[in-house]
């Protein structure tokens, strides 16, 4: 599908100007991607904290249940 | 529920950006004067416009914070300015790349539009250190709001002054004495502004949702594990969202910062 799209698309005049245009668009995309990556790292940290919290609460519940059955 | 509507906003942003980039490269005509280099304007100009508008919006949120004393406005002001700074960097980078391609220099110090945009960036770059330098959350948010309002008011004044005094070396994109852009270019520009505006709104929404979730999680941990089990908050530039955290009985008292505090 992509080769067909490229064949149908008009030829872009990628001469000397092409590298600058590509650079500008890449800079834009790169900064957005870096930001999304930072957000992903923060999300992973929150997930880890949430897992720790769930595990602690589960242990506490099990201990309480064991105490009541005793 | 935090981050409500994020999925719809993400999809809309992705569709708008994809469509805009396709229009930029396959629909918008080549500029007769600049040729292919002018395509940079479809990113550089909308990003710069969104950045300057965002600073004014951040100032409006800060004013609402001072008026209502509601922390949510401080958070919104902080996040909008934070994302606007990132967009400002994109605007400076893409502008610099265009300048190299068109003028042969990465930066021209005697060009008022460039330098004024850099001044606006440097002005708002002091916003985070200002917040970080104030430990008390209440004072931090108040002082930061005052700064955001003053800096936000500077943005349109600066824009108008440069526009009035500039020798018009920097290209004017939307309005020229010759009648402005042709219809197809103007359409793609408007699409680019909408797409980049949506991207800005999306990043702001993500950041706010992440901050609120993090605070909610912290509050839950304190409730479930006890205050002493959760590491105390360090100094931060970000606004605090929860209730002030009082040290619990098990937490050792903080050491005095100076002799006067120790004596009192």
Mean pLDDT score, A46-57: 88
Percentage, residues of chain B above pLDDT 70: 83
Contacts of A14 in chain B (CB under 8 A): 36
Does residue B74 lie within any of the structural domains?
yes
Does residue B67 lie within any of the structural domains?
yes
Q: What is the pLDDT of residues B131-165, one digit of tens each?
A: 999 988 889 999 999 999 999 999 999 888 888 87
What CATH number does residue B93 fall under? 1.20.120
pLDDT category of residue B236 using cuts at 50, 70 and 90: confident
What is the CA angle B19-B20-B23, rounded to 5? 85
To the nearest whole angstrom, how far is the Cα of B83 from the nearest Cα of chain A?
A: 10
> Who's near B31: CB < 8 A, 6+ residues apart?
B37, B38, B185
Domain count, chain B: 1
Does residue B3 lie within any of the structural domains?
no
Q: What is the pLDDT of residues B11-68, one digit of tens each?
A: 999 999 999 999 998 888 888 778 888 899 999 999 999 999 999 999 999 999 999 9
Q: Give the residue on A whose Cα is nearest the Cα of B44.
A: A24
pLDDT category of residue B252 using cuts at 50, 70 and 90: very low
Contact yes or no for B93 and A53 at CB 8 A: no
Range of the domain at B201: 14-168+179-219
Report the pLDDT value the prediction gives residue B246, as an integer from 0 to 100: 53
Tell me how far apart the alpha carbons of residues B189 and B46 are, in angstroms, rounded to a whole number: 7
Q: What is the pLDDT of residues B75-122, one digit of tens each?
A: 999 999 999 999 999 999 999 999 998 888 899 888 888 899 999 999
- Mean pLDDT for chain B overall: 85
Number of cross-chain residue pairs from A and B with Cβ atoms under 8 Å apart: 75
Considering only CB atoms, A24 lies closest to which of B94, B213, B214, namely B94
Contact yes or no for A53 and B220 at CB 8 A: yes
The 3-state DSSP class for residue B20 equals helix
Does residue B249 lie within any of the structural domains?
no
Contacts of A42 in chain B (CB under 8 A): 210, 214
Contacts of A28 in chain B (CB under 8 A): 43, 47, 90, 94
Percentage, residues of chain A above pLDDT 70: 81
Q: Kindly report the three-state secondary structure assignment for every residue of A6-65.
A: HHHCCCCCCCHHHHHHHHHHHHHHHHHHHHHHHHHHHHHHHHHHHHHHHHHHHHHHHHHH
Contact yes or no for B217 and A13 at CB 8 A: no
Contact yes or no for B35 and A13 at CB 8 A: yes
Task: Tell me if A20 sits within 8 A of B40, measured CB to CB.
Answer: yes
User: What is the value of ipTM here, to two decimals?
Assistant: 0.76
Contacts of A40 in chain B (CB under 8 A): none
Does residue B148 lie within any of the structural domains?
yes
Contact yes or no for A20 and B98 at CB 8 A: yes
Q: What is the pLDDT of residues B190-208, one digit of tens each?
A: 999 999 999 999 999 999 9
Contacts of A25 in chain B (CB under 8 A): 21, 40, 43
């Amino acid at each position: 599908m992509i080769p067909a799209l490229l064949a149908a698309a008009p030829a872009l005049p990628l001469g000397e100007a092409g590298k600058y245009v590509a650079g500008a668009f890449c800079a834009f995309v790169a900064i957005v991607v870096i930001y999304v990556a930072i957000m992903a790292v923060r999300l992973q940290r929150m997930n880890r904290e949430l897992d720790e919290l769930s595990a602690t609460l589960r242990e506490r519940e099990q201990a309480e249940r064991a105490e009541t059955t005793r | 529920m935090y981050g409500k509507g994020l999925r719809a906003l993400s999809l809309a942003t992705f569709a708008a950006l994809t469509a805009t980039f396709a229009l930029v490269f396959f629909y918008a005509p080549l500029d007769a004067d600049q040729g292919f280099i002018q395509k940079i304007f479809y990113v550089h100009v909308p990003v710069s416009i969104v950045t300057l508008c965002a600073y004014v919006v951040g100032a409006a949120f800060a004013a609402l914070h001072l008026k209502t004393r509601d922390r949510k406005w401080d958070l919104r002001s902080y996040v909008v300015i934070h994302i606007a700074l990132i967009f400002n960097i994109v605007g400076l980078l893409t502008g610099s790349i265009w300048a190299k391609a068109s003028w042969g220099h990465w930066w021209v110090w005697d060009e008022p539009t460039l330098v004024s945009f850099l001044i606006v960036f440097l002005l708002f770059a002091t916003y985070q250190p200002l917040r970080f330098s104030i430990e008390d959350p209440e004072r931090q948010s108040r002082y930061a709001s005052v700064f955001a309002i003053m800096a936000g008011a500077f943005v349109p004044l600066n824009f108008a002054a440069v526009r009035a005094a500039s020798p018009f070396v920097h290209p004017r994109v939307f309005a020229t004495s010759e009648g402005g852009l042709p219809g197809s270019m103007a359409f793609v520009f408007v699409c680019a502004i909408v797409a980049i505006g949506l991207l800005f709104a999306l990043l702001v929404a993500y950041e706010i949702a992440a901050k609120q979730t993090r605070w909610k999680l912290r509050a839950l941990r304190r409730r479930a594990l006890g205050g002493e089990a959760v590491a105390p908050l360090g100094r931060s530039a970000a606004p605090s969202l929860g209730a002030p955290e009082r040290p619990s009985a098990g937490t050792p008292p903080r050491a005095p910062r100076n002799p006067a505090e120790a004596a009192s």
